[in-house]
Structure 1
């Protein structure tokens, strides 16, 4: 076969490949949309109808040609119906069909299409052309039914599109404009090559190329559907690649010699089309997932900003509330202290015992309020530090001495392993670091039922680091709790069995304060439940 003598076959092949690829690109863009589903149906019917229409003018067998023309008009009814339905549903994603549509129109279309396969429409071939094809066919009475249904569906579809176009606004107005443009080009091509040339110039050689005339409508309609749907470059590139591969393999069919070669290369062409469809589906899915992830990321970003705003408001509220609470608590603590000291005269033992409980409760509450205030300052970036060069060893010894009564009261042993002959200079905020050490030793007291607490401090001259350790023989820390132990409001499971007064804030505050220092680190190590814990505080040593 020479390519110049088969340009009609090449054009039909290219058009079929283009229509098929566009149909599936639109469908995969939104597989749940009724518009996209109907467009794919229209595209597939167009392809089958175009192949049958082209084949009718090429076969030399009268019997085969007669059945092909019946099949062409059978498909023609469904072709017109799919156009009408596309006009009805475009550009909606969802559409509810009426009962008249389901129980009257659909049966009429189905019955008409089946009648087209019987002698009621085309009775027989009256004249055979010199090439062996059919030159003239005797029509049956039902040809009127076929023509009426076809024209009614097409005209109704056009009227529906016009009405929708007039009422449409914004994006939909633009979409209907593209559909109207495609419909106009298709109408002009069909009227020119399928009616004017055969009727007035006795030239019917373009009728087999009907697929080419429908292509403008398919092209513009697909663009109208996809125009405002983020037509991703990956999908465009994949569709282009699929189209080029389809054309290349179809050219192989055109150049084939012999029936076996034609069948083999035709099979390859079909496989390429099928592969292209699955490739488009895969790429479209990937693009959709990426778009969904991007959309989720945007939503999460907005939610995160909002959460930060709420967190800031919460911190400001907590700061305000705790400030308001601290003043009366301080007054309660002060007056109960004065009463216990006898500043207001002697009181009975029972009254003294009650006042002492009030004093201790207010003292505990003051510490809790102070913790909340510290959290608010940390989260709002208002925590102030006054770093000065201090003997870290001396500070730890002083804290250990202050807490020694608490250790003895808990019936524990306290060992302090710090060389008093050495200086452990570090640039620290003395008040904040004192709070860190107090918190860690106090924590060891609370969670150790028996045994000892060992406080140590060492200096690594090479690395220029100070390392303080507070070890206990207490309840230990489970492996799953270790990563979250320093988070806010976190306490180990069954911690209340050992200490019911913990808030889960102390370690969080201690870590934040330690890490605010130069080279500051705070971490914990434990061999597990019931095997004790060791807390480490590391700082840069001052030379």
Structure 2
């Protein structure tokens, strides 16, 4: 029977060529995505074997009229096919991570190498069988032995991947294994290509197996990150270009055009690799940044938990401290009032020191309790329409003796017309004002302290300016945080705990206001501001 190619057979011949090109490109893609991974390297060599098989099939298709050429390409095919059982087995144990079976891998490759030396021997294949859809060399006794080993390798492949499906703990691993199982099962139909070796003419269904297998694997890579690959647009475009140019090169009959296409393919591969490498590097940097962000978020969450635990501890400790301190203060007060008998001046002096220390401790405990209440969202506010001017007047009257004692001029410049009221918790805002005036007096050795209050849009703006020690620029952003104090505060006024401004900031923000400080630097004085919203008229 003489094989005569026609239009339909020409179309069929393009299928193994497309399979060879697609499988080869897919193998390069998997290899370049992570060449350090053992599984990726094995798959690359797997794809080379399959590419040799399908490319040889394509070339043999047009050589059937010349027995010598046809037998050359058939033996070329077996160079790839002989290694398929051993590579299939190797791939399966790497994919399923079956370390105990690794000792058989070397044996598999050794058997493949032995058969490689017999592909030209008549005992392996001899003569040519020509049929309607192509041609094939006729199998000899050694081919029968090879066929048994071929199916042993393929059966082991599916058995190991099935083990992977059953043992996979993650859902994504099961999905990946199922896709790999399906793709390689379809590829195994390529074994039907052995039937013509036994003079069984069959429509070349095997030609389609490589292309379908490659398409399924490509989908598994794109959709389910098979081989742990994250595909990017640059890679898809580059490999698609390679595939088109490779097919064009193989189909070109003119040697001059083939050389040009080959040079173009080499250039496209070179620049494509540079592009992919740069994009992958950028993605890796982005991934590292995302991982770092997640770590920082986890650390931040942990810090929040620790901060909450600390606040809870402070709340409990403060409650436990307040009761005995109040008792001590009461008893000390009664002793100073000579409730249990007369005291001499020395005794009164020491008792007064105890009383003052108890006052400071109680104030610190109250501050800690207020802060823990605010942070826990348990602080209760009694909002009422209030005149901010009256609150300021009250605090100036109370604290003026302290200013007079230091020869400081403390005055309040009132606005020229009556100011609207604000909706606030009068007691807490009064404490904020008291804290700011008290600080101004403490940190001002000479000069004056000026307080102003004026309307700005829908807010009242409070300011207190002093001619005191000032605040450096580096400290200002952190001044309203817990336990933060300026350098002079830590050296000259050691009694404070750095909670007053933090508490003031919390209270003002709870009233939908703002608080900040301005200072040109050390010894340049400072100005503290806060705003509170005006009650809108109905």
Q: Shorter-chain TM-score: which interval? A: 0.7 to 0.9
| Alignment-derived partner of residue 191 in structure 2 | 190
| Alignment-derived partner of residue 162 in structure 2 | 165
The CA distance in 1 between the partners of 2:301 and 2:118, in whole Å, is 65
Say which SS state the counterpart of residue 480 (structure 1) adopts.
Answer: coil
Contact 1:26 1:225 in 2 (8 A): no
Contact 2:31 2:44 in 1 (8 A): yes
| Alignment-derived partner of residue 55 in structure 1 | 59
The CA distance in 1 between the partners of 2:277 and 2:256, in whole Å, is 32
Say which SS state the counterpart of residue 417 (structure 1) adopts.
Answer: strand
Matches within 5 A, 1:212-223: 212-220=208-216
TM-score, normalization by structure 2: 0.76
* Structure 2 runs not aligned, ≥5 long: none
1:80 matched to 2:85? The reply is yes
Relative distance call for 1:499 and 1:121 in structure 2 (3 A) is farther
1:431 to 408, 413, 427: 427
Relative distance call for 1:263 and 1:342 in structure 2 (3 A) is same
1:108 to 107, 110, 113: 110
Contact 1:234 1:283 in 2 (8 A): no
Relative distance call for 1:386 and 1:491 in structure 2 (3 A) is same
Matches within 5 A, 1:391-410: 391-408=387-404
Q: Which has the higher contact order (CA 8 A, sep 6+)?
A: 1
| Alignment-derived partner of residue 346 in structure 1 | 342
Contact 2:333 2:355 in 1 (8 A): yes
Relative distance call for 1:35 and 1:124 in structure 2 (3 A) is closer
1:452 to 447, 450, 467: 447
TM-score, normalization by structure 1: 0.75
The CA distance in 2 between the partners of 1:211 and 1:2, in whole Å, is 17
Say which SS state the counterpart of residue 478 (structure 1) adopts.
Answer: coil
Contact 2:472 2:521 in 1 (8 A): yes
The CA distance in 1 between the partners of 2:72 and 2:197, in whole Å, is 22
* Structure 1 runs not aligned, ≥5 long: none
1:14 matched to 2:15? The reply is no
CA RMSD of aligned residues (A): 5.0
The CA distance in 2 between the partners of 1:234 and 1:338, in whole Å, is 79
Relative distance call for 1:436 and 1:283 in structure 2 (3 A) is same
Any idea what the Cα deviations from partners look like across 1:416-453, whole Å, max 9, x if unmatched? Answer: 132498644432322111111111122234444x3234
Contact 1:77 1:150 in 2 (8 A): no
The CA distance in 2 between the partners of 1:524 and 1:159, in whole Å, is 76
Any idea what the Cα deviations from partners look like across 1:149-197, whole Å, max 9, x if unmatched? Answer: 7753651342353266268256567665555544443334432xx2334
User: Shift in Å at residue 326 of structure 1?
Assistant: 1.6
Contact 2:22 2:214 in 1 (8 A): no
Contact 1:83 1:154 in 2 (8 A): no
The CA distance in 2 between the partners of 1:57 and 1:503, in whole Å, is 91
1:477 matched to 2:460? The reply is no
Relative distance call for 1:97 and 1:531 in structure 2 (3 A) is farther
The CA distance in 1 between the partners of 2:272 and 2:415, in whole Å, is 81
Relative distance call for 1:16 and 1:195 in structure 2 (3 A) is closer
Aligned residues: 523
Contact 1:38 1:86 in 2 (8 A): yes
| Alignment-derived partner of residue 335 in structure 1 | 331
Relative distance call for 1:213 and 1:521 in structure 2 (3 A) is closer
User: Shift in Å at residue 510 of structure 1?
Assistant: 0.5
The CA distance in 2 between the partners of 1:156 and 1:254, in whole Å, is 31
Matches within 5 A, 1:37-186: 37-55=41-59, 58=62, 71-92=76-97, 96=99, 100-101=103-104, 104-105=106-107, 108=110, 111-112=113-114, 115=117, 144=142, 151-152=148-149, 154-159=151-156, 161-162=158-159, 165=162, 168=166, 178-186=179-187
Relative distance call for 1:149 and 1:310 in structure 2 (3 A) is farther
